Structure 1
């Protein structure tokens, strides 16, 4: 099942990826994406093994960003691929059928491509400017989400679509009115002392807006 609240890990001088992940798990996070862009695959594998053990302890799902072989090696729940990463079709040859694969999209055309590739979910964004990503795609904003989700409905696309990119807890009410399945956050939770309350409030807001898309099991 595709959770409606995704956490994307980030590190800083004050906190490591694993520390950030453990804090979010302790606060009630259930869908954790390990996103490491500046380390070699061997080091990402080491981090992924540790992150997977943490997720198992909290009965949470681990998603690996960008490294199909790593997701396979640690038996992660899923893999997430960016627009400039390997195609989902090629990644599936590495991961096999058991691992869920999600892909980033910025336009309706991207979404249709991801659906054709067999994506289990799609991350649509960015919502606003974010420092966590280099080579940022054009910002969509609320208007962009409204327009694209109307087109998605007309196309009959039922793949769960997650809003990504610079999203804060207070953005959820308006974003979810567009029909999106859920949201992915990073800075909104990383290192926050009130992460438990934030997660609780975000899940409560998600419950007010029943998912319009059927999650793939």
Structure 2
């Protein structure tokens, strides 16, 4: 299937301000989001399952790919389109054995070496970052920046989305590197008007 990575939303319920996750995801899709990843760090498996299922109702309705962060078991349980794995998560080759060849597997990469290894091991796409300083990733010493992003992207042959501190003031500069899309969290979820915020990040 042809996947549109251009505006890739990662969920974070700390930005909801009393709004329901389903509503926020739907508004973001109506604003132009093309892909959704459910990311949950500190909840039980049962709660993660419930949240993912709720989001899947929306993504299924709009025929948008749904990716689960880290949790292969949750992805299988709700029949999500795929998973996104970090460098410390399940090895890609094992994840592929479990999920099969028809699921999307994305890998986080912060260096060219990590990117090339992920491509070699059969990743479907890369999340390259963090490009800028960001409030959602506290453990970054030095962001990659635009030049490193460009260098990594020019040396790989699979789709890639940039992540980390991307917002309405810098997304054009990021997309000018040629990457297939941008991952956003607060630039959409942190805004009052979700739909308008998503729309403002489309070229």
TM over 0.5: yes
- Residue aligning to 2:13: 11
- Residue aligning to 1:213: none
- Residue aligning to 2:107: 103
Structure 2 distance, partners of 1:197, 1:191, is 12
- More deviation, 9-18/73-82: 9-18
- Residue aligning to 1:160: 159
- Residue aligning to 1:78: 82
Shift of 1:192: 2.2
Please, what TM-score do these two structures have when normalized by structure 2? 0.88
* Stretches of structure 2 lacking an aligned partner (at least 5 in a row): none
- More deviation, 123-132/194-203: 194-203
* Stretches of structure 1 lacking an aligned partner (at least 5 in a row): 206-217
Q: 1:87 to 1:69 in 2, by over 3 A?
A: same
- Residue aligning to 2:121: 117
1:62-211 maps to which residues of 2 (within 5 A)? Answer: 62-136=66-140, 138-150=142-154, 152=155, 157-203=156-202, 205=203
Q: What is the Cα-based RMSD across aligned positions, in Å?
A: 2.0
How many residue pairs get matched?
Answer: 199
Please, what TM-score do these two structures have when normalized by structure 1? 0.83
Shift of 1:66: 0.5
Structure 2 distance, partners of 1:181, 1:25, is 18
Q: 1:134 to 1:83 in 2, by over 3 A?
A: farther
- What SS does structure 1 have at the residue aligned with 2:186? coil
